[in-house]
Structure 1
Amino acid sequence: MTEPVIRKIVTYAEEVLVEGKRAVPRPTKFLAAAAVIRNPWRGESFTDNLKPAIMAHAGILGDLLVPRLMALAGGKQFVEAYGKAAVVGADGEVEHASALIHTLRFGNKLREAVGGTSYLSFTNKRAGPGCAIDIPMTHITSEGARSHFLTVSFTIPDAPAADEIVIAIGAGTAGRPHHRIGDRHEDMKEMGIRSNNTLVPAK
């Protein structure tokens, strides 16, 4: 199986300075790095075994995108939230998009770069050029931190073409500006819910 055929690499960055008509405590960056690649399963009626292409593509794509994302953040030490996304063009299956991001050979590249322990939130879908590429994010080590339930969204006007896949990763350098809704663990404590989602018996 050949290595990825990459048509372009796209990076996206926004820096939030004011939210809710109030200056943020510190500038907050929401970032993304994406590769537009040829779908390795293009033109095939159906492929039972996706693993050869996963093995040939996933690690390379992680190695390609992670350093670019870290550079946008100003260094891995500034990353507090992360996530991933894939969009397959009209001639592909959603499974094709999923295959290249739902493997530790891809996700661990980002997780290890920032010392993360949380699962990478994700989206995977089929769409055409100019679609919204939405990358949901969570805190890199605290999955219950609602302050870091974020989404970075961007578009690529000419991608994905019908025979392409967009592979993307995202990062945030802080939580939502002025976040004030608490976190999941606080709710669980207040409601008497254990970590396995069972109710604590009343005393």
Structure 2
Amino acid sequence: MKPYVRKEVVIIDEIRAEIGRPLPVPLRKCASVAIVENLFAGKRVEDLSLYGEYGEWLGRLLVENALEALGVGPEEIQSYGKAVVTGLAGEQEHGSALLHIAFDGPVREALRDTLSIIPSTEKAGPAGCSVDVPLHSKRAVKVRTHYDAMEVSVADAPRPDEIMVVLCLTTGSRPFPRVGGLLLDQVKGVDGVS
């Protein structure tokens, strides 16, 4: 099954310089967004398992949209994150069900080499509100150079009976990271932590 999607949005944020210093390679961040109908808006529903199926379908859609928009292969993606905003006629838990039951499977399958958790944030809010999508390395949580975020908003979403689902992918670290910690080329790739 798949949810009714009113709108898909893709946002590319390309950073070419930091305080006047050009980056050797521009940092590209992509937010892939789907605005979906919340079937549970205004209802008291205990069983949210249907949103597991919806979440799996949305994970696949959003990762495909992001890779296509960035024009890169999965090996070029270095970090990721996800977020959801539930419209005010629904519960935050509705968005959470879309984001956490089965969303990650297709994202991991498409990106490969994804041992670390996909960081997330969620909230309920009105149309046009923004959400900060946390980002970190897809290979290991402790890669400090890739701790970042992307602010995402869509002017007319989510409406009260909708949910805004976001997946962000990036092609690199923060500009000129220098606060130490585990570097990407030092990742052991064993446990998703270090």
When the two structures are superposed, what TM-score results if normalisation uses the length of structure 1?
A: 0.85
**Number of aligned residue pairs:** 181
- Please tell me the residue identity of whatever aligns with 1:167: V
- Please tell me the residue identity of whatever aligns with 2:52: M
- Please tell me the residue identity of whatever aligns with 1:10: V
For residues 140 and 24 of structure 2, the distance between their equivalents in structure 1, rounded to whole angstroms, comes to 21
CA shift for structure 1 position 56 = 3.3
Q: What whole-Å deviation, never above 9, does each CA across 1:139-170 have from its counterpart, x for those lacking one?
A: 01021011101111121000000110001100
Unaligned runs of 5+ in 1: 186-203
For residues 90 and 184 of structure 1, the distance between their equivalents in structure 2, rounded to whole angstroms, comes to 40
Provide the residue aligned with 2:99 in structure 1. 101
Provide the residue aligned with 1:112 in structure 2. 109
For residues 111 and 56 of structure 1, the distance between their equivalents in structure 2, rounded to whole angstroms, comes to 16
Unaligned runs of 5+ in 2: 184-194
Give the % identical residues.
Answer: 32
For residues 109 and 131 of structure 2, the distance between their equivalents in structure 1, rounded to whole angstroms, comes to 24
Is residue 14–residue 28 contact of structure 2 (8 Å, CA) maintained in 1? yes
What SS does the aligned partner of 1:147 have?
A: helix
What SS does the aligned partner of 1:72 have?
A: helix
CA shift for structure 1 position 4 = 0.4
For residues 141 and 52 of structure 2, the distance between their equivalents in structure 1, rounded to whole angstroms, comes to 28
CA shift for structure 1 position 20 = 2.4
- Please tell me the residue identity of whatever aligns with 2:15: V
Provide the residue aligned with 1:200 in structure 2. none
Provide the residue aligned with 2:146 in structure 1. 148
For residues 150 and 14 of structure 1, the distance between their equivalents in structure 2, rounded to whole angstroms, comes to 13
Is residue 37–residue 162 contact of structure 2 (8 Å, CA) maintained in 1? yes
State which drifts further: 133-142 or 157-166. 133-142
When the two structures are superposed, what TM-score results if normalisation uses the length of structure 2?
A: 0.89
Q: CA RMSD in A?
A: 1.4
For residues 48 and 117 of structure 1, the distance between their equivalents in structure 2, rounded to whole angstroms, comes to 32
Say which one has the larger Rg: 1
For residues 151 and 53 of structure 2, the distance between their equivalents in structure 1, rounded to whole angstroms, comes to 28
CA shift for structure 1 position 112 = 2.1
1:37 aligns with 2:51: no
- Please tell me the residue identity of whatever aligns with 1:17: R
What SS does the aligned partner of 1:71 have?
A: helix
For residues 9 and 110 of structure 2, the distance between their equivalents in structure 1, rounded to whole angstroms, comes to 20
Is residue 25–residue 177 contact of structure 1 (8 Å, CA) maintained in 2? no
Provide the residue aligned with 2:6 in structure 1. 7
Q: What whole-Å deviation, never above 9, does each CA across 1:88-137 have from its counterpart, x for those lacking one?
A: 0111111111110012x211211221121110000100111111132111
CA shift for structure 1 position 184 = 6.0
Is residue 41–residue 91 contact of structure 2 (8 Å, CA) maintained in 1? no
- Please tell me the residue identity of whatever aligns with 1:106: F
